[in-house]
Amino acid sequence: MTGAALLGRLGWQSLAFVRAWQDPSLNTLIAAGAAALVVIGAVAVVALITLRGQWRRLWREWFTSLDHKKIGIMYVALSFVMLARALAEAVLMRLQQATAINAPGVVDAEHFAQLFSTHGTIMIFFMAMPFLTGLINYVLPLQIGARDVSFPLLNAISLWLTAAAAGLMMASLVVGRFSTGGWSGYPPFTETGFSPGVGPDYWIWAVTLGSIGSTLTGLNFATTIYKKRCTGMTVMRMPLFVWTSLCTSILMIFSMPALTVATALLALDRYLGFHFFTNALGGNMMNYANLFWLFGHPEVYVLILPAFGIYSEVVSTFSTKELYGYASLAIATIAIAVLSFTVWVHHFFTMGQSANINAVFGIATMAIGVPTGVKIYNWIWTMFRGEVRFTVPLLYALAFMMTFVLGGLTGIILAFPPLDYLVHNTLFLVAHFHNMLIPGLLYGLLAGYHYWFPKAFGFRLDERWGRVSFACWVVGFYLAFMPLYVLGAAGMARRSSEVLEPAFRPWLLVAGAGALVLAAALAALFVQLWVSVRHRRANVVPAGDPWDGRALEWSVSAPPPEYNFAVLPHVAGRDPFHDAKRKGTAYAEPVRYAPIEMPRNSAVGPILGALGGWAAFALVWQIWWLAAATVIGMIATVIARSFVRDVERTIPAETVARIERDWHETLARSAPTTRDFETTAINRGLAQVLA
């Protein structure tokens, strides 16, 4: 076999280290440094696990687990790693723009383009999506009184496909180069004519793997919500987080295919010379723009709706009040979900359709502001005359409400086509969407992380470091992004690797400082995790209800047993656990316990993930034998799995009884906490109930 047949396009030159060796410059050294971080990080993790002899345990208890709770935690862990990388890239971009004012700056133009492409792609697909999928995974079955999602194996497969795609993003730092076409990958620039290298192929296959994983996730969550709610939980009794998860899932089911089609057709163009989006021979780039944003706009609501759900839970719990206007919140969620399919053209007002079409889509876009506004009022009214406790999650909710409204207002500006003509493709837009995504998505997910962490791990997160981190996220956000509104209105184009206008300097310096504060925010978050783990004994909440919670997830121990509920609950109202505590029926011990069937562990998820990841890598580098072998391997795995009949495992009634009795003893030993002491060591997870 020749080298090309064996290794495709892969060569020594593909390695970032070799390029830095041959042509040492600040630019290539930064690239090699990033690659070294990936390699050293991977080696260190592997070495650590090996030294501690933890492989077997990890494999048995985590990687092959089909438990929705563990899958959820793995998703969130993945998203934190990816957040760290994408944030580092953001800081580098801010550094570049602050220094490259009529000067070369730190990275060259091509490298800068890779930075915004990977940053955007990672933040959306490998930070936000895994984070929200992880939280929904963890919380959803608990909130609807179920023992797992509908298709636990499919759930694991989604996780491992997503992880494989994230791995591909990491690989692109070490071997080859990433796309320079932005997170939206517009052709014809990403066609072979203009981007002959492997960059767009990395983007295509990472995004495709991720989008398949998300489609399957959406299907799984939607079926779970429709079919696995406990008795008595009618749709109008579902916690609001379940409502938003449902709408997010529906959006995933219907919008992800548009992305799959866009990337698949682009791949056909690149690999087989088709002419979907090329300049010549009947290709039509506008079709790509439509397909991509037919996915892209619903996607922003896929991202934001779960955060809305989290805010609803958090605001109600920490205001010690029932959610105000439950029905209107649910209806507003549905309205947003439906409308989100009707506005995609606002992403390309300037690309040549008629003024009338622009007007229709502009009005539709503004219409979405209405249900969103309804929600903001609902949260404010929920707090009104409530007994508000300013814990970290509530602080995030407050910062969100004020900051998000600002972003909404600039969104209305952008929705107005004549104004959009002035600021489109400038930093004004970058400021706008970060103004939506950071408060609307990141703060929400972080609020959820703080809120449910004690449930998942049995101890609270450190409150003080939580506040430090919160303060940095908020201050950093304003510093980093408010200047961009000014710069954008002054005409500074987005995605610029060099700045020609010296008057922009002060604003760019402020934005750069803001990015550093944001980096500090992430660092504080990691410190918080470290400190909390160190002091976990002082902060344990084994009784399971540290915040005087309202929905079913708080009615079980922390962390919950693998089967969630020894006896499937029955609910009769909207805040079932809250009501049960007031009626004195919470924590009732059943007369007897029954054996519980749970899915057995399976290696199919990690196997499909590994094969999928290698298949994608092989396609990127055109190593055809490997691509064929891995794809056949995936099909064979699925077929082989369909022959496995022994897929369930029974937890004997005695085991259930033992676990439950232990927990009830803990409950009996715990002193109830009033809300004044909920962030102190007194809080053992049993809430003092004042009727």
Nearest approach, Cβ of residue 190 and another protein (Å): 16
Alpha-carbon radius of gyration of the chain? 25
CB of 266 to ligand HEM, least distance (A): 15
Let me know how long the chain is. Answer: 691
Q: What is the amino acid identity at position 165?
A: A
- Closer residue to ligand HEM (CB): 496 or 564: 496
Q: Identify which of residues 15 and 268 has a Cβ nearer to another protein in the complex.
A: 268
How far, in Å, CA of 582 to CA of 615, rounded? 56
Q: CB-wise, 103 or 272, nearer to ligand HEM?
A: 103
Stretch that binds Cu ion, among 209-217, 226-234, 235-243, 293-301 (CB under 5 A): 293-301
Chain positions 180 to 209 lying near ligand HEM, rule: CB under 6 A, are 182-184
Instruction: Kindly tell me which residue out of 441, 474, 499, 508 binds ligand HEM, with binding defined by CB under 6 A.
Output: 441
Residue 284 contact, options Cu ion, another protein, ligand HEM, none, Cβ 5-8 Å cut-off depending on partner type: another protein
Q: Which does 268 bind (CB under 5 to 8 A by kind): Cu ion, another protein, ligand HEM, none?
A: another protein
What is residue 597's three-state secondary structure?
strand
Contact 177, 159 (CB under 8 A): no
Measured torsion, CA atoms of residues 633, 637, 643, 645, in degrees rounded to the nearest 10: 160
243 binds ligand HEM (CB under 6 A): no
DSSP string, 481-530: HHHHHHHHHTTPBTT-SSB--GGGHHHHHHHHHHHHHHHHHHHHHHHHHH
Ordered DSSP codes for 548-590: ---SGGGGS-SSPPTTS-SS--B--SSSHHHHHHHHT-TTPPP
- Region of 12-20, 221-229, 436-444, 600-608 interacting with ligand HEM (CB under 6 A): 436-444
In the list 20, 93, 132, 302, the residue contacting ligand HEM (rule: CB under 6 A) is 93
437 lines the binding site for ligand HEM (CB under 6 A): yes
Q: Does 123 bind ligand HEM (CB under 6 A)?
A: yes
32 CB contacts (<8 Å, ≥6 apart)?
16, 17, 19, 20
Q: Which does 297 bind (CB under 5 to 8 A by kind): ligand HEM, Cu ion, another protein, none?
A: Cu ion
The nearest distance, CB 491 to ligand HEM, in angstroms, is 13
Closest residue by beta carbon to ligand HEM: 120
565 binds, among ligand HEM, Cu ion, another protein, none (CB under 5 to 8 A by kind): none
Are 564 and 141 in contact by the 8 Å Cβ rule? The answer is yes
Among residues 116, 221, 277, 465, the one that binds ligand HEM under rule CB under 6 A: 116
Asked if 577 and 687 touch (Cβ cutoff 8 Å), the reply is no
Q: Which is closer to ligand HEM, CB of 461 or CB of 518?
A: 518
Per CB under 5 A, the segment of 26-34, 245-253, 297-305, 654-662 that binds Cu ion is 297-305
Residue 436 binding ligand HEM, by CB under 6 A: no
Which among Cu ion, another protein, ligand HEM, none contacts residue 258 (Cβ within 5 to 8 A by kind)? another protein
Shortest gap between Cβ of 187 and ligand HEM (angstroms)? Answer: 14
Q: Does 147 bind ligand HEM (CB under 6 A)?
A: no
By CB under 6 A, the count of residues binding ligand HEM is 26
User: Which residue matches tokens 């009022």?
Assistant: 377
| Distance from C-alpha of 399 to C-alpha of 443, rounded to nearest angstrom | 8
Binding flags for ligand HEM, 502-531, as an x/- string (CB under 6 A):
-------------x--x-------------
81 binds ligand HEM (CB under 6 A): no
Task: Select from 222, 68, 128 the least CA-distant residue to 553.
Answer: 68
128: which 2 tokens? 């936000």
Residue 428, C-beta contacts closer than 8 angstroms, at least 6 positions apart: 410, 414, 484, 485, 487, 488, 489
**CB of 434 or CB of 550, closer to ligand HEM:** 434
Strand partners, 540: 459
Give which of Cu ion, ligand HEM, another protein, none residue 287 binds (C-beta under 5 to 8 Å, depending on kind).
another protein
Residues of span 405-434 touching ligand HEM by CB under 6 A: 430, 434
Least distance from Cu ion to the Cβ atom of residue 532, Å: 37
Separation CA 419–CA 436 (nearest Å): 19
- Which letter does DSSP use for residue 391 in this model? -
* CA distances (Å), origin 458, targets 314, 544, 682, 684: 19, 7, 14, 10
Q: How far apart are CA 61 and CA 52, in angstroms?
A: 16
Span from 32-40, 163-171, 290-298, 466-474 in contact with Cu ion (CB under 5 A): 290-298
Judged by CB under 5 A, does residue 297 bind Cu ion? yes
- Write the CB contacts of 381 (distance below 8 Å, at least 6 apart in sequence): 324, 325
Going from the C-alpha of 323 to that of each of 118, 185, 311, 329, 622, the distances in angstroms are: 39, 41, 11, 9, 54
Per-residue contact track with ligand HEM, 341 to 380, x per CB under 6 A?
A: ----------------------------------------
Nearest to 134 by CA among 154, 153, 117, 158: 158
Binding piece for Cu ion, criterion CB under 5 A, among 26-34, 291-299, 655-663, 683-691:
291-299
Of 16-24, 294-302, 322-330, 580-588: span binding Cu ion (CB under 5 A) = 294-302
**28-57: which residues touch ligand HEM (CB under 6 A)?**
none
Residues at the contact surface with another protein, assessed by CB under 8 A: 150-151, 215, 218-220, 222-223, 226-228, 253-254, 256-258, 260-261, 265, 268-269, 272-276, 278, 280-284, 287, 291, 294, 635, 639, 642-643, 645
Pairing of strands 596-599, 648-651: antiparallel
Nearest CB to Cu ion, comparing residues 85 and 297: 297
**Angle in degrees, CA 550, 551, 555, rounded to 5:** 95
Tokens of 547: 């915040």
- What does the longest C-alpha to C-alpha distance in the chain come to? 79
- Contact residues: Cu ion, CB under 5 A: 297
- Contact residues: ligand HEM, CB under 6 A: 87, 90, 93-94, 116-117, 119-120, 123-124, 128, 182-184, 430, 434, 437-438, 441-442, 480, 494-496, 515, 518
